[in-house]
Amino acid sequence: MDGVHIANKPFKYHCRNIERPNRSQPKVTFMSALEKFPRITPFLWFDNNAEDAVNFYLSVFKNSRRLEVMHNIEGTPTPARILTIAFELDGQTFTALNGGPLFKFTEAISLIVRCDSQQEVDHYWAKLSAGGSGGQCGWLKDKFGLSWQIVPARLPDLIKKPDAMQAMLKMTKLDIAELERAAKE
């Protein structure tokens, strides 16, 4: 691919700027961070609030950090001064893009948070659903519209039992003790 097309014009974006000898030529830079990223990294499209979203996610998850910020090149038709923010949540690398209002998140993709206790389920559910909305079976949408599944690590084993599966289908936030009771019936 020869760059991203914004407003039907090619637009190359990267992290380390190279000066243009001729001001009429587009400024080309290189995304140095991509060389260090895992082969597959989720790329999250936000309207113009990627920085707010990243700050929010960093406040929710321990062992998280901002990796690299790429600012927009002057004169490009983009919605915010920051183009992308690379960040890590508990070891998983992500990139957030201020891409404009063209695309929105849907439930077609979600992020799963595996929890080892009810305390963790409660914590992540409360934090991530604040300003968003709860859904069925441990799913929620955060205030940015991104879907999450907050699930106990034991869920796959528990829902092998039909009564536990039925109990889960009636829940919003998952209740481990209730799922365990249903699994024993």
Read off the pLDDT of residues 102-160 as tens digits, 9 standing for 90 and up. Answer: 999 999 999 999 999 999 999 999 999 999 999 999 999 999 999 999 999 999 999 99
What pLDDT is attached to residue 33?
56
Contact (Cβ atoms closer than 8 angstroms) between residue 32 and residue 16: yes
CATH 3.10.180.10 residue window(s) in the chain: 110-184
CATH 3.30.720.100 residue window(s) in the chain: 4-98
- Give the mean pLDDT of the chain: 85
Distance in angstroms (rounded) separating the CA atoms of residues 17 and 22: 14
Contact (Cβ atoms closer than 8 angstroms) between residue 15 and residue 85: no
CATH 3.10.180.10 fits 110-184, yes or no: yes
Does residue 91 have a pLDDT over 60? yes
Domain 4-98, CATH number (from 3.40.640.10, 3.10.450.50, 3.30.720.100, 3.40.190.10): 3.30.720.100
What DSSP string runs through 70-93?
EEPPTT---SSSEEEEEEEETTEE
pTM: 0.79
pLDDT tens digits for 59-86?
999 999 999 999 988 877 767 889 999 9
Distance in angstroms (rounded) separating the CA atoms of residues 25 and 130: 46
- Which residue(s) pair with 134 in the sheet? 140
What pLDDT is attached to residue 24?
53
Give which of 9, 1, 13 is closest to 98, Cα–Cα: 13
